[in-house]
Amino acid sequence: MKKIIFILVFLFFIFLCWFIFFSPLFQIKKFEIVPEEKSIEVKKNFPKKTILGFIDLTKNIIFFNQDQVKKSISPEIRKIEIKKDYFQRKVKIIFKKRKGVLTWCFLKDDEKKCFLADEEGIIFKESSYPIGLKEIVVNDTSQRNLSLLEKVISPKDILSLKEIFDHFSSFEKKEFIYPDPEFKEITLILENKLKIFFDLRKEIDYQLEVLDKFLANKNINELKYTDLRSLPKIYYQ
């Protein structure tokens, strides 16, 4: 009797394994990619995933997960959401793209290379230089070796740069010089060649307020530089 029960349990286990891993009921019939854009490079033949070396889980709707998708997408994708329709055997993959908020250029071997960085300060795409006027240009002179999906600046510092950039919206051309990521100091260069030195460790609102009061009695076109890093004292020439 025990032998019969053992055989039945074993047969049930074999059937269950076949049902889960090989049954057509769990084989994905369709992948839906949202949004369907050429700029999002997605391989629908996802990297093969197996267990025991021969059981293929690549198109099994139960085991299909984000890890398989992450290996086949471009750095432009920030977030992945997967929805499974077991009745229709369909997997819907929703991508959230990174949005470039600034262009980060750095010098390496006397050559300038530029990337788009998102709101998290992560560079994700190569960019041409010079770039459009709507984007913030940061020239990194620290000679760092940068690669895609590397964090170059904190979200807080990005907001500070945008605040400074927007404050000088009347100037058509402007860019930042970022000498060293450790010192948190940055230089704004306006189209009239005026250099303004900021300290990102201190409140930008206060620095801009002091700067406005200072410039109210000065001819901005006659100034070479204005240094706000030692407030309340201002150094200028």
Q: What is the pLDDT of residues 152-187, one digit of tens each?
A: 889 999 999 999 999 988 887 888 988 877 778 899
φ/ψ of 81, rounded to 5, equals -125, 130
Look at residues 176, 170, 174 and name the one whose alpha carbon lies nearest to residue 158.
176
Mean per-residue pLDDT of the chain: 80
Render pLDDT for 195-210 as a digit per residue (tens, 0 to 9): 999 999 999 999 999 9
Global pTM? 0.72
Element (H, E) at 102: strand 102-108
Q: Cα–chain-centroid distance for residue 81? A: 17
Least confident of 6-10, 58-62, 101-105: 6-10
Q: Average of pLDDT values for 98-110?
A: 84
pLDDT of the residue at 227: 92
- C-alpha–C-alpha distance, residues 72 and 45, integer Å: 9
Q: Would you say residue 5 has pLDDT above 50?
A: yes
Residues contacting 67, CB < 8 A, separation 6+ = none
- C-alpha–C-alpha distance, residues 70 and 144, integer Å: 27
- C-alpha–C-alpha distance, residues 105 and 91, integer Å: 39
Q: Where are the alpha helices (DSSP H) in the chain?
A: 2-21, 66-70, 155-167, 204-215
Higher per-residue pLDDT: 132 or 229: 229
Residue showing tokens 């290996």: 71
Cis peptide before 181 (omega within 30 of 0): no
pLDDT of the residue at 18: 66
Render pLDDT for 32-69 as a digit per residue (tens, 0 to 9): 777 765 444 554 556 566 666 566 667 777 777 777 67
Q: Would you say residue 81 has pLDDT above 60?
A: yes
